[in-house]
Amino acid sequence: MGRTGRGSPGASRPPENSLATPKELSDFLVSVERRAFKQCVFSVHDEESALDLVQDAMLKLAENYGDRPPNELPLLFQRILQNGIRDHWRRGKVRSTWTTLLSSLGLGGEDDDADPLETFLVAEEGSVPVSPASQLEQAQVMQAIEEALAVLPERQRQAFLLRYWEDLDVSETAKAMGCSEGSVKTHCSRATHSLAKLLRSKGISL
């Protein structure tokens, strides 16, 4: 008596859909960390950025999905990591666009009816700096750009960020701002020219 089911196959195993224990989550993160780091280094070409991406992905997995079944953890982690890598390149590409765009402005007249992005040809990933020295230099320029953005009129700053950070087109930006497409172009033109002038006044040549 009392031995019913004891020793039967699978009796001591948790169900497949049981939630991960803290130890199972910890063991998974330890097992995946080194491979994920190498994967990120290949993707972003910078060890410091790769380490940040892996640590961020591990933290997000633990905070948001730590109670999911163990068999779901690998796919969830990879989705988080790949999203992080894509965001990394997006931020780098956006920053490269900003610096290259602003370096081409400020000379000649200002056309308030033109949106600079419509006639500006953006380079692909090759324009994103991958060496630590280049990344540091661009980070310093980006800090100056962000400081300059803070002093722009609100509508100019809003149009600039929606167009060049959120990557909305003129029509989408106009809807988001509740104004005409012509107004968006005017705000963007004034913002980009003002930013270029502010940066030159600080001795920054892009």
Reported confidence tier of residue 17, pLDDT bands at 50, 70, 90: low
pLDDT at position 127 is: 47
**What pLDDT is attached to residue 112?**
55
**Which percentage of the chain shows pLDDT scores above 90?**
24
Whether pLDDT at 164 is above 70: yes
Domain range annotation of the chain: 22-90, 104-201
SS3 label, residue 111 = coil
Tell me the whole-structure pTM to 2 decimals: 0.48
Question: What's domain 22-90's architecture?
Answer: Orthogonal Bundle (1.10)
149: nearest Cα among 98, 94, 205? 98
Query: Which ranges of 66-105 would DSSP assign to H, the alpha helix?
Result: 73-103
pLDDT at 30 over 70: yes
Kindly list the distances between the CA atom of residue 33 and the CA atoms of 48, 77, 87, 89, in Å, as whole numbers in the listed order: 14, 10, 20, 21
> Among 24-28, 30-34, 39-43, 101-105, whose mean pLDDT is lowest?
101-105
CATH label, 104-201, candidates 3.90.76.10, 3.40.50.450, 1.10.10.10, 3.40.1440.10:
1.10.10.10
